[in-house]
Amino acid sequence: MKKIKTSILICSLLMTSLLCSQDLEVWVSDAGGFSNPPWFIFKFDENGENPIEVMSQSDGIEWPEDIIFLEDDGVVLISNLNAAGTISRHNINTGDFISKFAAGLGGPTRMKIGPDDLLYVLQWTGSGTVLRYQLDGTFVDEFTNVGVAQSIGIDWDSSGNLYISSYGNSLIRKFDTSGNDLGLFINSGLNGPTNIFFDQSGSGDLIVFNWNNGIVQRYNSSGVFVENLITGINQCEGFDFMPNGDILIGVGSDDTVKRYDNNFNFIENFIESGTLITPNAVAIRETTLTVTDFELASNFIIPSIGTRFSIKTNLSSEVEYLEIYTISGIFIEKIILNETSFWDASKFSEGVYIIKATTINGKVSTQKVVVKK
């Protein structure tokens, strides 16, 4: 395995800027032959070039499904659908296996840090319930009271309700903020849904990737089909947003990662065929902030894309205000937390913004959101 030497750049905050120029790493999980190796985690540069093999099965990954960065611990988590249902903990700079974060799960697939700062994990087999963990690996609970078979897509709406997709049953189920089942949100028109995320254009639309027929669809806030956004990308799975709002999507049918603008217009093959076998997770890492810059958990404002963003209810006990910056570092607005519990970004241009929170003891945390109307 090739080892990686990543330099973490230390940036000074200027009066009118939040960040200096960013170094981006695009990490891609390669499921290979699914239940059969080879399996890899690759890292590419911000242009989709210069691939580096970060991990393989010799580093303890087996059918990798998702990637979560825990910058404050210098750790990256990998969910392994094989490997007796484990989430493995690795050194973020070298890829070396550290320990098992969790074991005995029913084929863990997607992982996401929720609005309560806990790690939510989906299960492909077994009970199919959503599991929650503290970020040190301590098990919390089975969050949902109903299982979703072959669950592989997760997101929250602006009210904090949870949505889970089932690949095998081609449906999306909705849960309230306490994990209680609210029934099927979408139960027709899907064909092997994988990733889902809330766009929040208009009244809060849900974007759904369909792996079997290669169609990315838009549904409205009532679960009614609106339109097909992208077609012809069979085995679409894994996504993340570039700093300018462009979206990267893994496409297994031609072993590429494709780039689209924020209106879902095709731009390019960001990663050409030849390196990957079956890309199934894409995660962008920004390496311009030091580890000590992060004191709060990453999700102190939700969702990650839209025009209206909810602020974590107990944040005011640690932070008096939030500062909003453009991706180029220009300050645009201050939010006083004892005056409001949300940020309305509808008056600003579409694009990526940085939310800066300074704690009472002076530690700085940032979160990236995408404003899309």
**How much is the mean pLDDT over the chain?**
88
Fold for 24-286, please state it. Neuraminidase (2.120.10)
Fold for 295-371, please state it. Immunoglobulin-like (2.60.40)
Give the per-residue pLDDT at 69.
94
- Determine what percent of the chain is predicted with pLDDT higher than 90: 65
Q: Is 54 helix (H, G, I), strand (E, B) or coil?
A: strand
Give the per-residue pLDDT at 8.
26
CB 63 within 8 A of CB 82: yes
Predicted TM-score of the model (pTM) = 0.77
Domains of the chain, residue spans: 24-286, 295-371
Question: pLDDT at residue 26 above 90?
Answer: yes
Greatest alpha-carbon span in the chain: 54
Q: What is the mean pLDDT of residues 180-184?
A: 98
Give the per-residue pLDDT at 141.
98
Give the per-residue pLDDT at 166.
98
- 365 pLDDT band, cuts 50/70/90, is confident
Question: pLDDT at residue 9 above 50?
Answer: no
Give the per-residue pLDDT at 296.
55
Q: How many CA atoms lie within 13 A of 245 on its CB side?
A: 19
Q: What is the mean pLDDT of residues 23-29?
A: 92
- Cα–Cα distance measured from residue 313 to residue 326, given in angstroms and rounded to the nearest whole number: 24
- 298 pLDDT band, cuts 50/70/90, is low
DSSP per-residue letters across 228-271: EEE-S-TTEEEEEE-TTS-EEEEETTTTEEEEE-TT--EEEEEE
Question: pLDDT at residue 22 above 60?
Answer: no
Give the per-residue pLDDT at 328.
60
- Residue of 369, 354, 364, 356 whose CA lies nearest to 322: 356
Give the per-residue pLDDT at 18.
38
Torsions phi, psi for 271 (to 5 deg):
-120, 120
CB 366 within 8 A of CB 356: yes
Give the per-residue pLDDT at 243.
80
CB 301 within 8 A of CB 323: no
Is 295-371 in the same CATH topology as 24-286? no
Residue 117 or 165, more confident: 165
- Cα–Cα distance measured from residue 98 to residue 96, given in angstroms and rounded to the nearest whole number: 6
Give the per-residue pLDDT at 203.
61
Q: Is 73 helix (H, G, I), strand (E, B) or coil?
A: helix
Question: pLDDT at residue 285 above 80?
Answer: yes
- 20 pLDDT band, cuts 50/70/90, is very low
Give the per-residue pLDDT at 139.
98
Torsions phi, psi for 110 (to 5 deg):
-75, 145
- 350 pLDDT band, cuts 50/70/90, is confident
Question: pLDDT at residue 200 above 90?
Answer: no
Q: What is the mean pLDDT of residues 313-325?
A: 82
Torsions phi, psi for 57 (to 5 deg):
-60, -20
50-60 pLDDT, tens digit each: 999 999 999 99
DSSP per-residue letters across 315-342: GGGTEEEEEEEETTS-EEEEEETTT-SE
Amino acid sitting at position 244: N
| Cβ neighbours, 10 Å, residue 270 | 22
Question: Where is average pLDDT lowest: 19-28, 57-66, 209-218?
Answer: 19-28
* DSSP state, residue 82: S
